[in-house]
Amino acid sequence: MKKETTKQRIVSEAVKLFSKNGYEAVTVEQIATAVGIKAPSLYKHYKSKKEIFESILERMNQMDFERAQEYGVPEGTMDEMAEKYAQTPLQKIMTYSEAQFLHWTEDAFSSAFRRMLTIEQFRSRDMSERYQKYLGSGPTEYMADLFTQMTKDESNGMQLALEFYSPMFLLYSMYDASTGPAEKKKITAMLHRHIDRFAKRLARDYGINKEV
């Protein structure tokens, strides 16, 4: 594994601190101490805490893009990519959804980012909007667009999205409250069963081919 540069370590340590104490409570000096450098050295890489946060967002967006590319799911609005949404195989969507959950829970950087947004959503309008984009209305609306195009049922796309994503959203909280590897494993198994049953339901009720 490639060793992080000092600039990358600043971002990694910052998101860890933000996830524990919240964005506003963490100082540049605390971030520098976590990295093992002095604040003046940190300022050689970033001008402010806000600039560090912007780098965190850039990394998150890059990882989102890379996962979409890896799993071959559409990136863009339904108006831009309606045909691609309609042609995305159901199995690919289910596999991607499970990968997303594991990314948000098991990847150290993304998990810390998610916890930070969970804390800060009640303190800042900007953070609340970001929380919704990454974890609330954003993924729900994305799934609604997919299901609308796949089922050719505009009236039911959002309902299907709510039924699919709501249990996943709940499982994030259960995962965070779990006390050890065995309990976490049970939660990921619950997720897998939910996704598999939902896929079978769509295949049955809408005649969608489950396989790629």
153 Cβ partners below 8 Å, 6+ apart?
147, 206
Query: Structure tokens of 169?
Result: 């959203």
Domains of the chain listed by start with CATH number: 1-61 (1.10.10.60), 72-206 (no CATH)
Q: Is residue 194 predicted with pLDDT exceeding 50?
A: yes
Average pLDDT estimate for 39-51: 96
User: What is the rounded distance in angstroms from the CA atom of residue 14 to the CA atom of residue 34?
Assistant: 8
Q: Is residue 43 predicted with pLDDT exceeding 50?
A: yes
Average pLDDT estimate for 66-74: 82
pLDDT tens digits, 14-30:
999 999 999 999 999 99
Q: Of 91, 78, 58, 207, whose CA–CA distance to 154 is shortest? A: 78
Supply the pLDDT for residue 153: 82
Residue 26 to residues 6, 21, 76, 111, 122, Cα–Cα distance (Å)? 19, 7, 34, 18, 17
User: What is the rounded distance in angstroms from the CA atom of residue 164 to the CA atom of residue 199?
Assistant: 9
Q: Is residue 2 predicted with pLDDT exceeding 80?
A: no
Provide the pLDDT confidence category of residue 68 given band limits of 50, 70 and 90: confident
Query: Structure tokens of 42?
Result: 């940190």
Supply the pLDDT for residue 212: 43
Q: Is residue 118 predicted with pLDDT exceeding 80?
A: yes
Q: Following DSSP, what letter does each residue of 53-121 receive, concatenated? A: HHHHHHHHHHHHHHHHHHHT---S-HHHHHHHHHHS-HHHHHHHHHHHHHHHHHSHHHHHHHHHHHHHT
Q: Is residue 188 predicted with pLDDT exceeding 50?
A: yes
